[in-house]
Copies of this chain bind each other. A is one copy, B any other.
Amino acid sequence: MSEKQEDRNPFKGSFGNLENLVDKISDVLRCPVTIEDANHNLLAYSSHDERTDSARIATIIGRKVPERVVNKLWKNGVIPKLAQSEDPIRVSEITEVGLSNRIAISIRAKNEIIGYIWVLEIDKTLSERDFDMLKKAAETAKSQLLQLQVRKVKKEEGHQEFFWQLLTGHLSTQSEVHERFQRLNIKPPTPFYIIVFEFSHEISLTAERHIADLISVSPQLQTPLHVIDENNVIILCSPFSDKYVKFSTSEFINNFIVQIKKRFRNTEVIAGCGKMYSAFEKIEASYQEALTVLRLKNQFSEDLNETYHFDQLGIYRYLELLSEKNLEDKYFNSSLLKLREYDSEHNTHLVETLNVFLQYDSNVNDAAKQLHVHTNTLNYRLKRISEVGDIDLKCPNEKISLFLDMKLEKLQKNIL
């Protein structure tokens, strides 16, 4: 550091305690300031100022940043960014969790994060010079924190934060993950997979407690980590034994949903489950798969009513994309068009018949039952379908195309 810069550093020297430092930062930047440790526990906050936002109030009251604020910051990448950079980072307003515009910087010693400084941009926007100031403040905060020996209070404290790191893929090495599991006294769960429950309403505090109970006592699965995120409950699961994985998972899911519905009427819950993996860097993948299941279940609610596992999605993973393509190409299935024309001319139900027939895996008996007609009737119709639509019902390509195209038409009807 050059002499000139040192002269301009208002944070030079000792402040005795963190409260003095935080007030000094607040004076210099003319904004409310908060200092946290690496686990988002409140260490100090500027007091001259009553301008503030609800997240800050909650943090000061609870002496800790609320979990859902931390979760959000993980999800939108703010905390990972802070972990990478030594520079201040601007965070735009996030009204859902009561965060107004603010600036954050990490306090770090030897590349390890030991805390954060938060500056609220309530009615002033920080300049480049302010950013420099903040960097100097972080430097001073570093020595203060080291003196306080807050280093001991390492990141391992929060289960939730650790889980978010796993879910967002921000833990790089296998060994690091293992270490973290050990520190939390959790046997590393392998193999594992992610289950996400999506609630129709936001999850209340009462519900949170109930959910935590439900998860902790589950006899079917190990559930070492879980977190609540707006309407979703995200759970890291591991089977007790290699056998019956599917069975115990569906037991767990069904039980969970039944219990929730019993306790909270008018609440709808659906579940999505990612693939099972053994390498921890795949936690993110499994989480994303679970979210995909939920998205598609909302879109194809009838068809996927009984489905919760990513592996069971099958063609439904593909339909959205294909629907877009067909709209673009102005594609229509010639056979279905002919059948539709025939249907409307002769008051028949060839399309519906074909649909059910294919749905029941080309089994004449089952399809006939479903259609409430005689087997011979169905056979007669199939012959008709074959003639009218110019369809070879023994050709997999044709059958699959028809199956898909009918699903796609239905999807497009739903969207319009």
Contacts and interface: CB of A to CB of B under 8 A. Distances in A.
A285 B311 CA distance: 38
A264 interface: no
Interface string A386-416: 0000100011111111011000000000000
A355 to B, nearest CB: 11
Interface string A289-328: 0000000000000000000000110111110011001000
Interface stretch (A65-73, A235-243, A358-366): A358-366
A384 interface: no
A345 to B, nearest CB: 16
A81 interface: no
A330 interface: yes
A401 B275 contact: no
B404 A396 contact: no
A358 B403 CA distance: 15
B325 A318 contact: yes
Copies of this chain: 2
Nearest to A325: B321
A399 B360 CA distance: 12
A255 to B, nearest CB: 22
A53 B325 CA distance: 42
Given A275-B334, A321-B322, A322-B321, A314 B398 contact: yes
Contacts of A404: 315, 318, 400
Contacts of A394: 361, 363
A246 interface: yes
A404 B362 CA distance: 18
B359 A314 contact: no
Q: Considering residues A314, A334, A390, A401, which has the most beta carbons from chain B within 10 angstroms of its beta carbon?
A: A314
Interface string A341-378: 00000000000000000111111000000000000000
A52 interface: no
Contacts of A330: 285
Contacts of A401: 314-315
A361 B275 contact: no
Given A395-B361, A396-B361, A311 B335 contact: yes
A342 to B, nearest CB: 15
15 contacts: A246-B390, A275-B334, A285-B330, A311-B334, A311-B335, A314-B398, A314-B400, A315-B397, A315-B404, A317-B331, A318-B322, A361-B362, A363-B394, A396-B403, A400-B404
Given A318-B318, A321-B325, 11 more contacts: A275-B334, A312-B397, A314-B400, A315-B404, A318-B404, A358-B396, A359-B396, A361-B362, A361-B395, A396-B403, A400-B400
